[in-house]
Amino acid sequence: MSTITTIKDKAQELGAATQDALQPVRAAALAAFNQLGVPAVKHEEWKYTRISQLFNQSYQLGVDLSNTDATWQTFRLPEYETANELVFINGVYNPAVSTVRSAGLVVLPLEEAAKGEYAQVVSKHLGHSGKYMKDGINALNASFLVGAVFIGVNRSTEIEHPVYIYNITDGRAGNVFAQPRTLVHVAANAGVVMVETYGSIGVADHFTNQVMEVVVEQDARVEYYKVQNDSNRSSLVSTTHFRQVGKSYVHAVTISLNGAMVRNNLNMVMEAEHCDSNMFGLYFTSGSCHVDNHTIVDNAKPHCLSNEYYKGILDGSSTGVFNGKIFVQQDAQKINAFQSNKNILLSDTANVYTKPQLEIFADDVKCSHGCTVGRLDEEGLFYLRSRGVTEASAKSLLLHAFAIDILDQIRHDALRTYVDQLISERLGT
């Protein structure tokens, strides 16, 4: 039986077994997946990221594997003792090992949230990312919705501690496919810092197809960090979809340091005036690692600002992809949208494909974009070496200098130190 058939059967079976409030969403998503299928190589959005090859092998479908041993703890982030920790194992939220400690932070199983006080929010926003990603992969995630989570940040609360989200896959029993799902609602005038990270246990092929949707209300503030430093056999499609429904602020930083095939989708849908959002990213790849960052900024209303800056360092025979779409709808006058992507290739066998895509239907807007692909600066290298710095240290100083303006966007100190450490280790310093 093919992997896709197995997955579909599983989705069907889950749907039948869980007659909960999410069942209509699941059923619709399965229908969509049936129709769309897995994106083929000729699919424009997946041209360089051949996702279909991940479906050529069999996986255990994570939902049955609810491991609760302590192995996941090796992936804990610094200062976890004071953080809120939400742990997904094989795509399923595991409340037994998770900790919610901050006042004003609500964490519920998604199916419960769908029928209680948050029913409106869930029905209005769950699945909104699908409008922007009509490619089967997004639908596939929504066809499961098992162990999915709702995260609510109460009105006018500044969540004191960061929310760490661990997406763990346990492959000790064989290849594993996991589909974590979260819906986050940040109520008016609230603030929260979220950090997502990934970890693989066991020697196997790991494939995670994750979706997080974040609704940001009037005057709310969200800092969102994604840190990926997974194993060489771990592939990931990670979609984070922000919907700024009121004047609000989002600051997102995506750091990708390792994985087999990594695809990040970051969407910023600005549905209110005076929204402000930052999207920063750093990918530093080697070996045969493949990292693809697809971003969408959709300006529906006037007076918004988006600032996007991605940097890449590519070594070995690794591949980087950057695709930045900016839509400016007809009513979105006086918006500012900046985009830049800079890359350094460290080897002849590394590749980068970078493409800005601007679709502007308003006339009074300020948009800029630019991309560069270059080598390490020889002049700089000689300058540093002429002062007695060895070639290896000079390279690492230059690369660190290149990465620093993205690292500096990590405002959570312990996390910045941690990521800086990972990068220094990679640079061999």
Partner 1 sequence: MLQIKDLHAGIEGKEILKGINLTIRPGEVHAIMGPNGSGKSTLASVLAGRSDYEVTGGSVDFLGKDLLELAPEARAGEGLFLAFQYPVEIPGLSTINFMKTAVNEVRKYRGQEVLDAAEFLKLMKEKMSLVNIDKNLLTRSLNEGFSGGEKKRNEVFQMAMLEPRLAILDETDSGLDIDAIRIAAAGVNAIRSKENATLVITHYQRLLDYIVPDFVHVLYNGRIVKSGGKELALELEETGYSFLKNEMNIA
Summarize as ranges the residues that interact with partner 1 (CB under 8 A).
377-380, 382-391, 393-394, 397-398, 400-405
Burial class (CB in 10 A: 0-12, 13-18, 19+), 394: buried
Q: In whole angstroms, how close is the CB of 212 to partner 1 at the nearest point? A: 31
Query: Residue 312 and residue 96: Cα distance in Å, rounded?
Result: 38
Element (H, E) at 15: helix 3-17
Nearer to partner 1, 361 or 383 (CB): 383
Q: In whole angstroms, how close is the CB of 388 to partner 1 at the nearest point? A: 3
Q: In whole angstroms, how close is the CB of 393 to partner 1 at the nearest point? A: 6
Q: In whole angstroms, how close is the CB of 219 to partner 1 at the nearest point? A: 34
Scan for tokens 């990521």, then name that residue: 419
Nearer to partner 1, 250 or 403 (CB): 403
Query: Residue 182 and residue 190: Cα distance in Å, rounded?
Result: 18
The encoded tokens of residue 147 equal 């162990």
Q: In whole angstroms, how close is the CB of 314 to partner 1 at the nearest point? A: 18
Q: In whole angstroms, how close is the CB of 351 to partner 1 at the nearest point? A: 24
The encoded tokens of residue 382 equal 């000689």
Q: In whole angstroms, how close is the CB of 377 to partner 1 at the nearest point? A: 8
Nearer to partner 1, 30 or 406 (CB): 406
Query: Residue 313 and residue 315: Cα distance in Å, rounded?
Result: 7
Query: Residue 230 and residue 197: Cα distance in Å, rounded?
Result: 9
Nearer to partner 1, 132 or 310 (CB): 310
Q: In whole angstroms, how close is the CB of 379 to partner 1 at the nearest point? A: 5
Contact criterion met (CB below 8 Å) for 275 and 245 = no
Nearer to partner 1, 68 or 372 (CB): 372
Burial class (CB in 10 A: 0-12, 13-18, 19+), 36: middle
Contact criterion met (CB below 8 Å) for 15 and 63 = no
Nearer to partner 1, 397 or 414 (CB): 397
Burial class (CB in 10 A: 0-12, 13-18, 19+), 353: middle
Q: In whole angstroms, how close is the CB of 397 to partner 1 at the nearest point? A: 6
Q: Which residues of 135-168 are buried (b: 16+ CB within 10 A; e: fewer)?
A: bbbbbbbbbbbbbbbbbbbbeebebbbbbbbbbb
CB atoms within 10 A of CB 216: 32
Alpha helices in 57-196, H assignment, sequence order: 110-113, 119-125, 137-142
